[in-house]
Amino acid sequence: MMSGNDKPSSTASTAGAREMRLIATEEAYGDPVWLEALAKLPPNAGPEVVGLLKGMMTIPMIGSRMSDFEARLREMDSFGVSMHLLSLSTPGVQVFEPPQAAELAIQLNDNLAALIKAHPDRFAGLGCVAPQAPAAAAKEIRRAIGELGLNGILINSHTQGEYLDLEKYDEILAALVEVDAPLYLHPRIPPPNMLQPMLAYGLSGAAHGFAVEAALHAVRLIMSGAFDRYPTLTVVLGHMGEGLPYFLWRFDRIYELFFGTPVGTASGMVALKKKPSEYFKSNFYITTSGMFWEPTLKFAIEVLGEDRIMFAIDTPYEPSDEAVEFIRSVPLDERVRAKIAHQNAERVFKIKPA
């Protein structure tokens, strides 16, 4: 655990932090095939599609870093980032009709595997699937991990306003467990029935809406008993856990107070084998993507432990320099820094150690 006095003890220690392997674990990209398909969607396809395409055209930091992998490698070299764990940018294939989404996922995963094969020491990858076609998604999970050798699966939270705790998606969770692949649960703009109050003041995206929506998804998985059905299911959340570590005590408190009472029954509480917080501490990992703030990292280490946190940047939506400077300079025991910088990612995502 860190404290205000846990400063690097020597110049050698600081130098070690500067040279330490860095695996960034939430690094989005845009496959040209996918971008072309998005551009063909109707104008009413949704705010995130419009926002992504507009952002790529008008915000150089996003557009120039989304699909140019040679430029990405140069940027990684410039800041000393050893590897990007690549994942298709939100909203993935979850905005397409099921047949097209399932076909796109296959093509995009093939393309990602080929890119990784060309740069095996610099890129690893999370496959995409189409939850709106659950059987096809489960099949593609098995292929992406078993045949293509990808390192996990990323799903952009809700699919048409639905969450993976629903029974219709059980075959997706079962496939993840079968192939022992982690699920990175990435945020997206909330569905329409949740979005309206967030449209004011820029709250619908990364400022607030993303975290609220992804946190809701994670809590639904916990409170539905999904981890009792699939005890080895592993879920990764970015942005320091989307705020959930701060609420673990309260989840336990409310569950203990009301489960089995008329209030709990009326609100839909189900029987769980463990406290809600215990599932989070045993089945979830979090990353530092877009949250380069020492007090948050201190709290996460205290609550979850140093083995449950991984470094991430959130390319292309966050700058590499700030993320790298944070993880290299934040006061940490060098043993802990190594875990967060690369060792935990090597273990969770089965990435070969350097």
Q: Please, are residues 206 and 290 in contact by the beta-carbon 8 Å criterion?
A: yes
Spatial distance between the Cα atoms of 299 and 278, rounded to a whole number of angstroms: 17
Asked whether residue 3 is domain-assigned, the answer is no
Structural domain of 124: 25-347
Instruction: Please report the pLDDT score of residue 303 as a whole number.
Output: 98
Short-list 183, 76, 188, 82, CA closest to 127 = 183
Spatial distance between the Cα atoms of 280 and 297, rounded to a whole number of angstroms: 16
Asked whether residue 12 is domain-assigned, the answer is no
Short-list 40, 105, 27, 95, CA closest to 67 = 27
The CATH code of the domain that includes 117 is 3.20.20.140
Instruction: Please report the pLDDT score of residue 3 as a whole number.
Output: 41
Mean pLDDT in order along the chain per 10 residues (354 residues):
41 65 98 93 82 82 91 97 97 96 98 98 98 98 98 97 97 98 96 88 89 97 98 98 98 96 95 98 98 98 98 97 98 98 98 95
Asked whether residue 259 is domain-assigned, the answer is yes
Spatial distance between the Cα atoms of 203 and 190, rounded to a whole number of angstroms: 11
Total domains, the chain: 1
Asked whether residue 74 is domain-assigned, the answer is yes
CB atoms < 10 A from the CB of 70, how many? 8
Asked whether residue 199 is domain-assigned, the answer is yes
Asked whether residue 18 is domain-assigned, the answer is no
Asked whether residue 6 is domain-assigned, the answer is no
Instruction: Please report the pLDDT score of residue 135 as a whole number.
Output: 98
Instruction: Please report the pLDDT score of residue 112 as a whole number.
Output: 98
Active site residues: 314
Instruction: Please report the pLDDT score of residue 50 as a whole number.
Output: 78
Asked whether residue 1 is domain-assigned, the answer is no
Short-list 330, 331, 347, CA closest to 339 = 347
Q: Please, are residues 13 and 6 in contact by the beta-carbon 8 Å criterion?
A: no
To the question of pTM greater than 0.75 for the whole model, the response is yes
Instruction: Please report the pLDDT score of residue 15 as a whole number.
Output: 59
Contacts (Cβ under 8 Å, ≥6 apart) of 251: 219, 222, 275, 276, 277
